[in-house]
Structure 1
């Protein structure tokens, strides 16, 4: 990931393309999911249980959408990039763009552990802020489905490590952060993708007030900054993917435990609300 000279037009193009790539990957996945549901439910009259719906959504959104757009960008950039630069009149030629995938060494394993702890601390701090502010926040759709059908959480826990973490990190850290870093350098390269990542989670929320959801998304920036910093420190996408995946798996595990043992908790409603504020 190299940093090149910046011009106003180049700055605008970098930001627009980064946001477009992040949003485009998610949108592509949602469209594929809708098409699959349409074919199976409407076309073939198959009654899909909630667990099947969540599995299809994970495969198409994080698997095909996020990871697929990241892969397509890596393959198409050398072909399409020069033509776009010629049309826009860019004389500077950026360096090669890649996403390194390596088995973490001992230093990177330490960063995974430290990043996981920091991400959780950021989430707990954010949950505390939401409690103090007493704003009306929405609920993550996957978590809401998990509350209604806890068996979904048992799917989301391993899926967080195997699909959600890798898919979202390939797109948001590998492509979006790498694209922004080329123009702005490492610090802004972490900040902007973290804000984009958090902001796009707006569409995963159900209910809540506009103000409350904005505050909730602001809280999500904390863990996102940890993911981005981990990628910047290691240049190995496996590191933030592991942090993100284990972090999500921990939150879904907490929610499952709270639901499973709600009858033994002194204040199950508030405890559930506190866990939901983390997700």
Structure 2
């Protein structure tokens, strides 16, 4: 994403807030490892990776002034990409990440969009797809930000087997009752039939979740996602006359390279973990809102 925006003429600043990301595949303007390192925390406090990450995020929250000072020279003319850790417990069992985001919004007047990345191969297994939906819904409720859910690596989805339905079923999150039959065919899921039905009802009742798709190798796919993000965080109104904006075409129009040549703000966090192990955290996030 950073390369894409840079090629289009935007000044991009990547902010790495993942202390476990010690082999960065990109050049970042701000790196949390300049403040605290996960390896040092694990060694000093005898913590595992997950406990160490929680400690690091807590430390960042307590030292938020450090991050604010680093960001101030960038916010006027840079498009900011925040890369957060993917561990679900940081977002549901602890409030540190949300507190960091809220403090930045309040003190620096940032306009942020949460972009939640889910691996597309989870659509190949109905149980994992339902879990991904729950995770996405919980994230939307917990952060209370403009939010875009993305099925990433969509170009690789066929490598994991055939989908039970067409892709639009999974992106639009249509009637989930159709998944019941496929779940019952899996002996591992059959005994959770009633639970699965209740979970699907919760997702349907909220009616908030849908997905965009992303093939990072396809410039049209990346461009359409950027347009959608720009719509959600208000960028489309920052440098373009509002009368020229047609909401119904914002994500489907042909790629207009001139459109992307202005800075704005974006926050990205990616969840890469075994989703079905996260149901406790998901229920904790939903409990107060349902």
Point out the structure with the larger strand share: 2
| TM-score in terms of structure 1 length | 0.31
| TM-score in terms of structure 2 length | 0.30
Point out the structure with the larger helix share: 1
